[in-house]
Amino acid sequence: MLTLLNLLKDGRFHSGQDLGEALGISRSAVWKQLQHLEAELGLSIHKVRGRGYQLASPLMLLDSLKLSTMAPNWPVTILDSVDSTNAEALRSIGQGNSAPFLVLAERQVSGRGRRGRKWVSPFAENLYYSLVLRIDGGMRQLEGLSLVVGLAVMQTLRSFGVVNAGLKWPNDVLVGNKKIAGILLELIGDPADVCHVVLGIGINVNMQTADEVDQQWTSIRLESGNNCDRNALVAELSKQLDAYIRRHQAGGFSVLREEWEVNHLWQERSVSLIAGANHIDGVVLGIDNQGALRLRVNGVEKVFSGGELSLRLRDDS
């Protein structure tokens, strides 16, 4: 089926006869494969008598040859379909693969965000990206790391025309109140000594419709008006990540704190911090040198950190 998809990815019409000849199969077999493409990958294929078959939108598939020339030169695995790139990355660590390495996929069938939420992952439309790093030297190397990743994602989006991309503590990138990217970090090993961390990044790239998403969202294509080359996006994101991670390793999160606060969209906003069944109302003052959230609660500054916290704007904000 993927051979057929590569023939159709240009978005032009192709006759059933030409497709059959290229694949060495009958026209009826081509028709069956097209039905499978629609059913299994959720693709929309136009069928016009006398002209043939055409994808509703051209596809830019991830290309290992193009990505092999990118800097930094991290080993890259590209999967057609996977449960989630983070899960595959964790399995690869267990199999002894040496970090750093990168896992990409055309789609995820069980993509997930923070707090176990589903991450909608249609085929060949968005970016599903997991970078594995080996961390030596204990917890200091992890302080504020998810916020550092957010800065790299934000700068990448801006370079692709999403000029209003900004940050939301702790792990989201927004345009206004619409989510365009999310970050999920997962740790394996001993955080006090040697461990591995998976930097999972999901970016809405060329997606234009998504009935399953249960919050406001946008994409690079919707914001810029252009169909985005996901290979170029991977290369730029990897370059930004490499640069930001090096700065973080050299000086800790404190050297990036001011840059992060300047780009925090909810700075000085009235918010509710949600921790399980508890809601804490306050005003965002910023973050500390470890990346924890600083809130003014009833006139007193308090600091909050932790993976299960969630931030929402208050209705009166």
Per-residue model confidence as pLDDT tens digits over 72-114: 999 999 999 999 999 999 999 999 999 999 999 999 987 765 5
7-34 CB burial, b ≥16 within 10 A, e <16: bbbeeebbebeebbeeeeeeeeebeebb
Contact in structure between 83 and 109 (CB atoms under 8 Å): yes
| Same structural domain, 229 and 257 | yes
Q: How far apart are CA 25 and CA 123, in angstroms?
A: 25
Q: How many domains in the chain?
A: 3
- Between 39 and 313, residue with greater pLDDT: 313
| Same structural domain, 198 and 307 | no
| Same structural domain, 153 and 232 | yes
Q: How far apart are CA 12 and CA 27, in angstroms?
A: 18
- Residue 316: predicted pLDDT: 53
Contact in structure between 160 and 200 (CB atoms under 8 Å): no
| Same structural domain, 49 and 138 | no
Per-residue model confidence as pLDDT tens digits over 197-240: 999 999 999 988 766 666 799 999 999 998 899 999 999 999 99
Structural domain boundaries enclosing 270: 266-313
| Same structural domain, 196 and 100 | yes
- Residue 178: predicted pLDDT: 95
Categorize the per-residue pLDDT at 45 as very low, low, confident or very high, splitting at 50, 70 and 90. Answer: confident
- Residue 16: predicted pLDDT: 87
- Residue 113: predicted pLDDT: 56
Mean pLDDT of the chain: 90
| Same structural domain, 11 and 93 | no
| Same structural domain, 154 and 215 | yes
| pLDDT reading at 68 higher than 80 | yes
| Same structural domain, 36 and 177 | no
| Same structural domain, 155 and 6 | no
Return all residues near 200 (Cβ < 8 A) that are at least 6 apart. Answer: 84, 85, 86, 89, 129, 130, 183, 184, 185, 186
Per-residue model confidence as pLDDT tens digits over 265-296: 999 999 999 988 888 999 999 999 999 999 99
| Same structural domain, 193 and 170 | yes
Q: How far apart are CA 222 and CA 75, in angstroms?
A: 31
**CATH no. for residue 8?**
1.10.10.10
Return all residues near 76 (Cβ < 8 A) that are at least 6 apart. Answer: 64, 67, 68, 101, 102, 103, 104
Which of 55, 74, 92 is the endpoint of a domain? 55
pLDDT more than 70, % of the chain: 94
181 DSSP β-pair partners: 173, 203
Per-residue model confidence as pLDDT tens digits over 27-41: 888 888 888 888 888
Catalytic residues: 114, 179, 312
Among residues 235, 36, 212, the alpha carbon closest in space to that of 119 is found at 212
Among residues 179, 192, 259, the alpha carbon closest in space to that of 219 is found at 179
Phi, psi of 173 (to 5 degrees): -120, 130
| pLDDT reading at 118 higher than 70 | no
- Residue 102: predicted pLDDT: 97
| pLDDT reading at 116 higher than 70 | no
Categorize the per-residue pLDDT at 153 as very low, low, confident or very high, splitting at 50, 70 and 90. Answer: very high
| Same structural domain, 82 and 222 | yes
- Residue 117: predicted pLDDT: 62
Q: How far apart are CA 206 and CA 271, in angstroms?
A: 31
Per-residue model confidence as pLDDT tens digits over 187-204: 998 888 889 999 999 999
Categorize the per-residue pLDDT at 317 as very low, low, confident or very high, splitting at 50, 70 and 90. Answer: very low
Whether the model clears a pTM of 0.85, i.e. scores above it, the answer is yes
Which of 227, 243, 261 is the endpoint of a domain? 261
| Same structural domain, 181 and 285 | no
- Residue 293: predicted pLDDT: 95
- Residue 211: predicted pLDDT: 66
